[in-house]
């Protein structure tokens, strides 16, 4: 079962990278619970689709690369490297055209062949630093990249 669950999660990340939202209906339960939703994210599968779509508008060539994956029982844990080019406003940051790369870790629970729950953390601070929204400690506002 663990290998089947890992294959399912790999397909989800491929859909995320390709912005292929329709396939998610086959992979994620409609009543999916995201325990770490983004501000304003609607609940369930539709909220996840909204999030993915918005991330593709912010990072035009978004890629979600799996660095490591471990599965046990009904859970899959993935360590990710997310990258893309900043093309639209994000959390107050005007588009920079900068390439950004940040990491994340997801835990996904699977039931009856679909993802039903998600817990995750990502390096949003590192991403915001790359966008110039937050300066490095000891760096003046004037010296921050734009």
Residue 142 has pLDDT above 90, yes or no: no
Contacts of residue 54, Cβ cutoff 8 Å, sequence gap at least 6: none
- Looking at the DSSP assignment, which residues form a beta bridge with residue 77? 70, 107
Length of the chain: 146
Task: Give the pLDDT band of residue 145 (cuts 50, 70, 90).
Answer: low
Q: What is the pLDDT of residue 135?
A: 78
Average confidence score pLDDT of the chain: 91
- Looking at the DSSP assignment, which residues form a beta bridge with residue 104? 80, 122
Sign of torsion over alpha carbons 30, 33, 39, 40: positive
Residue 55 has pLDDT above 70, yes or no: yes
Residue 144 has pLDDT above 90, yes or no: no
Average pLDDT over residues 75-98: 92
As assigned by CATH, the class of the 2-136 domain is alpha beta
Neighbours of 9 (CB within 10 A): 22
pLDDT tens by residue, 99-129: 999 999 999 999 999 999 999 999 989 998 9
Say how far apart CA 128 and CA 134 lie, in whole Å.
Answer: 6
């Amino acid at each position: 079962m663990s290998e089947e669950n890992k294959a399912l999660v790999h397909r989800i990340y491929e859909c995320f990278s390709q912005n292929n939202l329709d396939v998610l209906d086959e992979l994620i339960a409609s009543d999916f619970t995201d325990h770490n939703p983004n501000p304003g994210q609607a609940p369930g599968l539709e909220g996840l689709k909204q999030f993915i779509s918005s991330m593709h508008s912010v990072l035009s060539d978004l890629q979600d690369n799996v660095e490591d994956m471990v599965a046990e029982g009904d859970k899959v844990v993935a360590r990710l490297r997310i990258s893309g080019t900043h093309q639209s406003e994000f959390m107050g940051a005007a588009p920079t055209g900068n390439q950004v790369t940040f990491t994340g870790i997801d835990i996904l629970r699977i039931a009856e062949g679909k993802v039903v729950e998600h817990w995750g953390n990502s390096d949003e601070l590192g991403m915001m630093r790359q966008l110039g929204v937050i300066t490095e400690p000891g760096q003046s506002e004037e010296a921050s990249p734009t």
